[in-house]
Structure 1
C-alpha cells in the first residue's frame, strides 16, 4: 500500500474517531487526548518542524545559485508575487460572493452579547518590509522568521552564483546537505498516517458537535469557497497557463495536501510539499526552492476566503450593511495584508481584525467563529500550499518552454 492510500485511510479513521469521541463523556476524550492523540500528533509535528528551517535555507540557497542570473531571479520573483496577489484577490471575491449567496449570518441564534475578542495589532507594512533584512541571521533561524531566512538565503545563493568556481566546494556542501534533508523528509513521511490520524481525531473530538451545529452554514460557506477556488482558479491556471492536467496535479500533490490538512501549518508542511512538487510534479528545484517557501509565508488564499466569508457573516449577524466601497476595501486590505502581516502568530484572525476595523464592523464578532476556526484552518491550509505548488508548477513549466524554444528554432533552420 502506497503512502497516499495510508494517509487517506488515516484521515477517514481520524474523522470517525474524532466524531465518536465528541459523543463520549468529556473525561474519555480528555484521557485519550492527553495520553494518546496529543503526544502522537505533537511528535509528528515536531519531526516536521525540525526540518523546516534547514530545508528552507538550504533549498533557497541552491535554488538561487541554480538560477545564476540575478535578472532571471527578479523576473521569477515578480511572477510569483503577482500570482499570489491576483489569486488572493480572486479568493476574496469568491468568499464575498458565497457569503451573500448563502447568508450564513441570517436566521441563526447567535449570542452576541457575551462575545469578546482580544485584538492583536499587526506591525505596519513598512516595518515588515524593513525587517525582511535580518540583523542577525542566526537569531532569525532560531526564531523561525521565514521572511528573514529567505532573504539571507537569497544573498548567499547570489554570492555562490557570482563567485562560481571559487566557491564550488561550498556549493557542493549545500547539495550534500540537501540530499540529507530529503532523506530525512522521506523518513518522517513514513509516520504521516499516524500523525494525521491523531491530529484530526484530537481536533474533531475537542470541537464538539454543539459548536459545529450552530455554525453549520458559516462552515458550509467557507468550505464551498475553498472547493470552488481550488477547482476553478487553480485548475484553470494549471491548465491554461501551465499547460498541465489539473487532475494529474492534484493526484500527485495529495500527500502534501493531507499533511497540511492534519497539521494546519503551511510552514510545517513545506518539506513535504517541496518534495512532492519536485519529485511528483516535475517542478525544477531552482523554482520550487524559491517559490514555495515564499508562498508558505505570504500566500494565503484559503485564509482570504475565510476572511471574506467571515466579514459578510459578522455584518449579517450584527445587521450592519456593507456598501460597494466597503467590499472594495475588504478586498484591497486583505490582499495587501497577506504580505504585510506575514509571520504574525494567528495571522488569519489578525488579518480579519484589520479588515473588520477597516469597514467599521465589531472585532468582537471574531469570537463567534473561533470555535470552528481550527477545523476550517485545516482545510484552508491545504488550499494555501496547493496554491504555492500551482505557482511553482506554472513558472517551472514556462521556464522549460522558454529553454526549448531556441532548440526547436535551430532544428527548423
Structure 2
C-alpha cells in the first residue's frame, strides 16, 4: 500500500500545484508548465521505451510455457479458450458502455474543448488524418498488420500488432525444436523477461513523480477554475469502468460459474475473498498468486495440478479487467479529444486491447503500457494518457481484483471439465 499512498499524495499535490501554477502570472507560470511537461514526458518516454521488449518477452515465455507442457495439451486448450472468450466479452462490455455513456463528452462538448487544453483540443491535422485513416481501414488490413514484412522495422516503429503476432508464433514454436536449442532459447527469453520486469518496476517507482507532473501540467493548462469540470469528466469515466467491471463479474462470470461450472457463484466469491482483498490492496495479480492458489486448493478443492498450471498462466495472459479498462480508456481519450471513432476504428481498439492484455505485466500500473500501444494503433497522442492518470490507481486496484477473480473462475471450470472427463 505504500506505493498507493505515494500515488494518491502525488495526485493531490499535482492538482494543488496545477491550480496554483494556473494563477501565477507569466513568465513564471510558463516556466512551471514547461518543468511539469519535461518530467511528465520523461516518465512517458520511459514507458514507451519498455513496451516492445516487455510485451514480446512476456508473450513468448507465456506461450512457450504452454507448448512445453506436452502432457497438458488438453488442459492448455480449455484454459486458453476460456481466457480468450472472457477477455473478449469484457472488452465488448466496455465498448458498449463507453459508447452509451460517452464519458469524454460533457453536454455534447469534448472534455479538452471545455478545459481549453490547447495541446489536445481539436487535435492536430496529423492525428485527425491518422484517426480518419483508421476509420476507413478494412478488417482485412487490420489482420495484415499482424504479419509485418520486416519485424525489426515493426519493432522500431512500434507496430505492436505485428510484434504480438510474431511473439505468439515464436513462443509457440520454441518447444517444437530440438531440446538443446529450445532450452537455451527459453532461458534466454525468460532472462530478458525478468530484466524487463525489473526495469518496469524501476520505472514504476518514479510513477508518483511522473503522475504528479502530468496532472499538474493538465491542470495548469486547464486553469484552476476548470478543476470541477475535469473531475466531473473523470468521475464519469471512472463510473463507466466500474459499471463494466461490475457487469463482467456479477453477470458474465457469475453466469459462467452457475451454468458451465454448475457451482454457486456466491460461494465461489466468498471463498476467493482473501485473494480479492489482496489483489485490491496490492494492485498486482503476480503478488496475489500464492493466495489465489491457496484459496482455490483449500477452500474450493481444486487440484494442485490444475491450479499450478491455470493460475500462473492466468496471471500472465488472462486480464479481463485490464482489457475492459484499456478499451474504455482509449475510447474515453478519443471522445475527450473530440475525435469521432468509426466502427472499424473501434474494432482496432477492441482487437488491440484483447491482444495487448496478454502481454501486460502483473504489477501495479502496468496497463499504462498497453494503453499507450492502443493509442498508437489508432493514431492518438500517447501524451493524452495524462487525462486519466488522476483516477488510474483506484481503477487499477479494481481491475486487478477482476483479473484475479476471472483466473479463479477459469481454474474452477477447467477442474469441472477434467472431473467430467475422468482425468
SS, match of residue 25 in structure 1: coil
Number of aligned residues: 354
Change (3 A) 1:184 1:306: closer
Per the alignment, residue 320 of structure 1 pairs with none
Instruction: For structure 2, list consecutive stretches of 5 or more residues without a partner in the other structure.
Output: 115-120, 258-267, 294-309, 354-372
Change (3 A) 1:307 1:171: closer
1:83 aligns with 2:89: no
Deviates more, 1:67-76 or 1:51-60: 67-76
SS, match of residue 27 in structure 2: helix
Per the alignment, residue 361 of structure 2 pairs with none
Write out aligned runs for 1:219-234 (5 A). Answer: 221-233=236-248
Is the 1:76–1:395 Cα contact (8 Å) retained in structure 2? no
Normalising by the residue count of structure 2, what TM-score does the alignment of the two structures yield?
0.63
1:126 aligns with 2:140: yes
Change (3 A) 1:57 1:253: farther
1:303 aligns with 2:330: yes
**C-alpha displacement at 1:93, in angstroms?**
4.0
Matches of 2:21 and 2:142, distance apart in 1:
42
Per the alignment, residue 187 of structure 2 pairs with 172
Matches of 1:227 and 1:298, distance apart in 2:
9
**C-alpha displacement at 1:63, in angstroms?**
0.3
SS, match of residue 52 in structure 2: helix
Per the alignment, residue 108 of structure 2 pairs with 105
1:42 aligns with 2:41: yes
Is the 1:87–1:301 Cα contact (8 Å) retained in structure 2? no
**C-alpha displacement at 1:66, in angstroms?**
0.9
Which of 124, 147, 155 does residue 141 from structure 1 map onto?
A: 155
1:13-58, CA deviations, whole angstroms, 9 ceiling, x for partnerless residues?
A: 12221222222224323212323x2332233333333322112111
Deviates more, 1:225-234 or 1:124-133: 225-234
Deviates more, 1:188-197 or 1:394-403: 394-403
1:94-127, CA deviations, whole angstroms, 9 ceiling, x for partnerless residues?
A: 3455469x98239xx98xxxx9664322133211
1:338 aligns with 2:349: yes
Which of 201, 207, 211 does residue 196 from structure 1 map onto?
A: 211
Is the 1:41–1:196 Cα contact (8 Å) retained in structure 2? yes
1:208 aligns with 2:235: no
Instruction: For structure 1, list consecutive stretches of 5 or more residues without a partner in the other structure.
Output: 257-272, 315-328, 351-369
**C-alpha displacement at 1:60, in angstroms?**
0.8
Normalising by the residue count of structure 1, what TM-score does the alignment of the two structures yield?
0.64
Is the 2:62–2:313 Cα contact (8 Å) retained in structure 1? yes
Change (3 A) 1:348 1:135: closer
Is the 2:18–2:216 Cα contact (8 Å) retained in structure 1? yes
Change (3 A) 1:154 1:72: farther
1:211-262, CA deviations, whole angstroms, 9 ceiling, x for partnerless residues?
A: 6667886665444323433455456657776855689647635676xxxxxx
Per the alignment, residue 155 of structure 1 pairs with 169
**C-alpha displacement at 1:154, in angstroms?**
1.2
Per the alignment, residue 64 of structure 1 pairs with 63
Per the alignment, residue 32 of structure 1 pairs with 32
**C-alpha displacement at 1:64, in angstroms?**
0.3
Which of 263, 279, 286 does residue 252 from structure 1 map onto?
A: 279
Which of 397, 400, 412 does residue 401 from structure 1 map onto?
A: 412
SS, match of residue 241 in structure 2: helix
**C-alpha displacement at 1:85, in angstroms?**
4.0
Matches of 1:134 and 1:3, distance apart in 2:
39
Change (3 A) 1:216 1:4: closer
